Structure 1
Amino acid sequence: MFKLPTTVKTLALSLTMLTAVSSNNAVAWGQNGHRVIGEIAQMHLTEATQLALQPILDGESLAQVSTWPDEMRSSPEHFWRKESGKWHYINIKDAKKMHQYVNTSIDSKDKVAHILDGIYFSINVLKNNESSLEEQQFALKFLVHLVGDGHQPFHAGRSEDRGGNLIKVSFFGKETNLHSTWDTHLVENENLSFKEFADFIKTSNKKTIKSYLNSQPADWLLESNKISARIYEQNETELSYGYVYKQMPIVKKRLSQGGIRLAGLLNQIFDKNAKPLTEALIKKRG
């Protein structure tokens, strides 16, 4: 297993409960990764959903708004400084009890304790016909971002190392940490713009799309948790070509899944004629 420095490990043991609810300062997927997810989602929106989103997006695209919640964390407002961080991740103590984290009716941003709450809060705001345009814009931008975060494995990683932030690694000889490697370095190593990356990994395969959509947000976080657990077990710290070869297929799949699933959510919210498992997520498990 990855080992923490002795002093950090000692602190982590005594501050586990604090780190479980503290702000995670990492920027999931970096700007390019989030934009890839937004761009892929845009490809799968129905016409009705595109029309419904026009006033909310106000001339922007899903790719453009995908990084807004991270950019706003520099705001001096209390919410962005002290509250918004917990929206971006979750610490799953027992995967078998994932149902305890699911609250599909959450109706106040003050009640958001983790990323899953943030996703459902955003969905509920967008579904509510009485929500103001400003509230809808807030919710849409957060939803686009959080679906992306949920597909980055270390946003459902361990609390004691803050999702890999405290694990030092080198990426082609440059010092970094495990979380940043997955946020940014693996994606940027492809040397592609977000549009090029999205074009390279996009799919129109109905079977693949259906398999991705046959899920719920809690499933996405459990997937991330399992992937992060495998990466922890591999205990690699000197990362270069072999690591890229092994991990990039996972990165590409997670970005593709994030984009398709985001589109599914938006179609389900805004298009009453969207077909479950084709253009929208299923509402209930069969």
Structure 2
Amino acid sequence: MLTTKISSLALAAALLTSSQALAWGQNGHRIVGELASLHLTPTTQNALLPLLEGDSLAEVSTWADEMRSDNSTFWRKKSSKWHYINVTDAENMHKHVHHDVSSKEQVKNVLDGMYYGINVLKSDKSSLNEKRFALRFLVHLVGDSHQPFHAGRADDHGGNKISVTFFGDKTNLHSTWDTRLIENERLSYTEFTNFIKTSNSAIIEDYLNSEPADWLLESHHIAENIYNLNETDISYGYIYKYMPTVKTRLQQGGIRLAGLLNQIFDKNAQPLKEALKTSNTATLNN
């Protein structure tokens, strides 16, 4: 049952299981990265070359999950909290924005993690290695922020503790949204990207008229709606109902990632056409 109470939720709740740190699965993250690459300005593309080291945004998009196997304390003990946020007052999500996050130790959730990446990439004091780390994590976290259950409930670990069946197979709600809904389309990440890419200026403008806290608030509302409908037997009807949402979130993630990178690296990028809105934060406008 999805009828679990929201209890004792707090910003940066106790460290959740490592499975909550995996969003969209590999294909989902690669779709976001691949779609973003289609909307980068030439200036941004050139600025990213030394940071990507020959890789694409799609290729680095899964790095933050793959590094979870590293034996260092950061990856084993501290990195998980970068991938999600739990708040009791979601309507006040913007109050949880910390624009000045400049060190890894300050990161308590995915929102902090994105601003850490932004600040490092914009700073002339950051080393090349620090910027490479920041870019790879930022690409991943923008994807995470668009997966509804990374702004879900702490007490069920973002849906990880909610058992469901997917065409009769036992799984959990989080995994269903991470991987199974996307993989059920039986498309490669490039094929999926080609299906959802858009050049519609009105859609792009709408998506870029936003900032990171907005993305997480959207995710939270989607997750709450899914929780409240209490659907545990997932098959064709569920897929028909929710695949448009999955596709929209991936599309939004890709376009917004490009807009964010354009805003960081290309001072001439056009707001609401190529970059996020200019009225974001002072941090983004420096």
TM-score by length of 1: 0.94
Match of 2:13 in 1: 20
Query: SS of the residue aligned with 2:18?
Result: coil
2:91, 2:217 within 8 Å by CA — same for their partners in 1? no
Aligned-partner Cα distance in 2 for 1:39–1:3: 37
Question: What letter matches 1:165 in structure 2?
Answer: N
2:100 paired with 1:99: no
Among candidates 144, 147, 162, match of residue 149 of structure 1: 144
CA separation of 1:38 and 1:18: change in aligned 2, threshold 3 A: closer
Match of 2:160 in 1: 165
Query: SS of the residue aligned with 1:273?
Result: coil
- Per the TM alignment, residue 129 of structure 1 is displaced from its structure 2 partner at its CA by 1.5
Q: Residue by residue, what CA displacement relative to the aligned partner does 1:119-158 show, whole Å, maximum 9, x if unpaired?
A: 0000000001121111011000000000000000000000
Match of 1:178 in 2: 173
Aligned-partner Cα distance in 1 for 2:94–2:129: 31
Among candidates 254, 262, 277, match of residue 267 of structure 1: 262
Aligned-partner Cα distance in 2 for 1:97–1:215: 15
1:24, 1:88 within 8 Å by CA — same for their partners in 2? no
2:142, 2:257 within 8 Å by CA — same for their partners in 1? yes
- Per the TM alignment, residue 100 of structure 1 is displaced from its structure 2 partner at its CA by 2.5
- Per the TM alignment, residue 105 of structure 1 is displaced from its structure 2 partner at its CA by 1.2
Structure 1, unpaired ranges of 5+:
none
2:57 paired with 1:62: yes
Aligned-partner Cα distance in 1 for 2:114–2:241: 30
Match of 1:111 in 2: 106
Aligned-partner Cα distance in 2 for 1:116–1:283: 19
Question: What letter matches 1:30 in structure 2?
Answer: G
RMSD: 1.8
1:92, 1:225 within 8 Å by CA — same for their partners in 2? no
2:2 paired with 1:2: yes
Query: SS of the residue aligned with 2:156?
Result: coil
Aligned-partner Cα distance in 2 for 1:67–1:170: 26
Identity within the alignment, %? 62
- Per the TM alignment, residue 99 of structure 1 is displaced from its structure 2 partner at its CA by 2.6
1:90, 1:116 within 8 Å by CA — same for their partners in 2? yes
Aligned-partner Cα distance in 1 for 2:261–2:120: 12
Aligned-partner Cα distance in 2 for 1:273–1:266: 12
2:115 paired with 1:124: no
Aligned-partner Cα distance in 2 for 1:43–1:283: 21
CA separation of 1:24 and 1:223: change in aligned 2, threshold 3 A: farther
Question: What letter matches 2:213 in structure 1?
Answer: A
Aligned-partner Cα distance in 2 for 1:177–1:210: 35
Among candidates 29, 35, 41, match of residue 34 of structure 1: 29
User: How many residues are aligned here?
Assistant: 279
Match of 2:251 in 1: 256
Aligned-partner Cα distance in 1 for 2:174–2:75: 21
1:87, 1:113 within 8 Å by CA — same for their partners in 2? yes
Aligned-partner Cα distance in 2 for 1:92–1:192: 34
Match of 1:201 in 2: 196
1:24, 1:86 within 8 Å by CA — same for their partners in 2? no
Query: SS of the residue aligned with 2:54?
Result: coil
CA separation of 1:257 and 1:17: change in aligned 2, threshold 3 A: closer
- Per the TM alignment, residue 2 of structure 1 is displaced from its structure 2 partner at its CA by 1.0
Among candidates 122, 125, 134, match of residue 139 of structure 1: 134
TM-score by length of 2: 0.94
1:106, 1:121 within 8 Å by CA — same for their partners in 2? yes
CA separation of 1:18 and 1:226: change in aligned 2, threshold 3 A: closer
